[in-house]
Structure 1
Amino acid sequence: MLPPPLRRLSAAAALGFVLAPASAFAHPHVFADARLEIETAADGSITELRNVWRFDEVFSASVVMDFDENADMQLEPGELAKISDMVTQSLAEFDYYTNITHNGDDVAVKLPEAIKVDFQDGQLLMFFALIPDKTELKGKITVGVFDPTMYAALDFIEDSDMAVTGAASDRCTRKVVRPDFDQIIAENQASLTEAFFETTQSSDLSKLLATRLELTCK
């Protein structure tokens, strides 16, 4: 059972992508164009992971229907604030859809402020910056932004949508990896038994298939 503040969202299907559990190998119901900027400092560390998500018109319209209290078909500042509060709390359970590793070890992240929400040209936008634990630009750093339940699809349309910025942006070589589902299946055919599909979690598969940015740093 969802806690009371979240139950309304799930029942209304607004922002359900962060609230409703999904079975393994579910398909996306919500789509968003995404951008990630990894901000670096002169001391050779990562300071922020900046995210921008622009959601599809269908999902955006459903959010307007659920949160447009004065029925003017817009989202006023007070209405946007309510969405922000709920999404900020809900995404914390999923580490804000962000997975970062440093030389194979997971790096914890924290949200410095509330997720900001806006409504422009019929689309819902969310933008926020995550602060990772102290991470030096040495060795291999991998960053992926994906929904572990596979309910929402965050699409980095261009490789340039996963960028490295800031004073130390030239210390690493950058590669955007876009896994191919058919290739992954072909490479793992021997292990694709009935037990594999019964035990594999959607979070495992979503991580395997997610677009990611790989940095190789000296």
Structure 2
Amino acid sequence: MSTPMMWRLPVMAAVAGMLLPTAASAHPHVFAEARLEIDTSADGRVTELRNVWRFDEVFSSSVILDFDENADLKLDATELANISDMVTQSLAEFDYYINITVNGEDAEISLTEPIKVDYQDGQLLMFFAVVPKKEIPLNGKIAVGVFDPTMYAALDFINDEDMMVTGSSATHCARNVVRPDPDEVIAQNQASLTEAFFETTESSDLSKLFATRLELDCK
């Protein structure tokens, strides 16, 4: 399967397999270790969300097959730029896999510049930052999740320290990394997992239930 299609696959069948105990278990096909830094200003605002994704070797190797135009088994600057263009455009419709809520309401974001791409030690890396479209003061409850709403790619924050708050107001809020238990999620939502639910609910609503998130409780 061509790599550029990774972010566009229909996955409702896979979602059903993951959520319904009687169905075969489904798994992501692409894995990446992720890091998130939420930067803050001296006057108590969220200013930027910085992201780093390091993809697994198998997927990274497939990227070389798809984008190594001169067949030298490496990714030169032009080839990396082509990957950058593709992922920057493809992920825009998914808000770059970033979900922010402020006191329960979704907050919009924008990309500051194209996603940077590199290839190091056999792994593809992506670096990028987004900013809130509207000011987000450090007040109340702020939650940030980074996940693929189609569930095709798994972004794994291995350590709690991989979801950090930085900047002048980093200590202004209590910080908690939430890692939902899949069995608990299924049990709590069993009544909703009906055929009608899958037909009328976007996959992002489902994937959000399982995503690791950083919660800030700001006074």
Residue 104 (structure 1) shift: 1.1
**Per-residue deviation, residues 145-196 of structure 1 (Å, max 9, x unmatched):** 0011111110000010000000000000000000011011222334444443
Unaligned runs of at least 5 residues, structure 2: 16-25
Q: Percent identity, aligned pairs only?
A: 71
Tell me the distance in 1 between the aligned counterparts of 2:80 and 2:147.
23
Task: Report matched runs for 1:42-57 at 5 Å.
Answer: 42-57=42-57
CA distance in 1: counterparts of 2:37 and 2:163, whole angstroms: 6
Closer/same/farther in 2, CA of residues 192 and 86 from structure 1, 3 Å limit = closer
> Using the alignment, how far apart are the partners of 1:126 and 1:22 within structure 2?
24
Residue 169 (structure 2) aligns with: 168
Deviation readout 1:21-45 (Å, 9 max, x if unpaired): 3225063111100000000010100
What's the counterpart of residue 154 of structure 2?
153
Matching residue of 2:103: 103
Q: Name the CA distance, whole Å, in 2 between partners of 1:177 and 1:16.
A: 30
In 2, the alpha carbon distance for the partners of 1:38 and 1:118 equals 22
Task: Report the RMSD for the aligned CA atoms in angstroms.
Answer: 1.4
Find the counterpart in structure 1 of residue 6 from structure 2: 17
Amino acid at match of 1:213: L
Q: Tell me the matched-pair count.
A: 207
Q: TM-score, normalised by structure 2?
A: 0.90
TM-score normalised by length of structure 1: 0.90
**In structure 2, distance between residues paired with 1:111 and 1:78:** 21
Output the CA distance in 2 between the equivalents of 1:112 and 1:188. Answer: 37
**In 2, distance between residues paired with 1:149 and 1:79?**
26
What does residue range 20-39 of structure 1 map to in structure 2 within 5 Å?
20-24=9-13, 25=15, 27-39=27-39
Unpaired stretches in structure 1, ≥5 consecutive residues: 1-11
In structure 1, C-alpha distance between the alignment counterparts of 2:199 and 2:114, rounded to whole Å: 37
- Partner residue, 1:88: 88
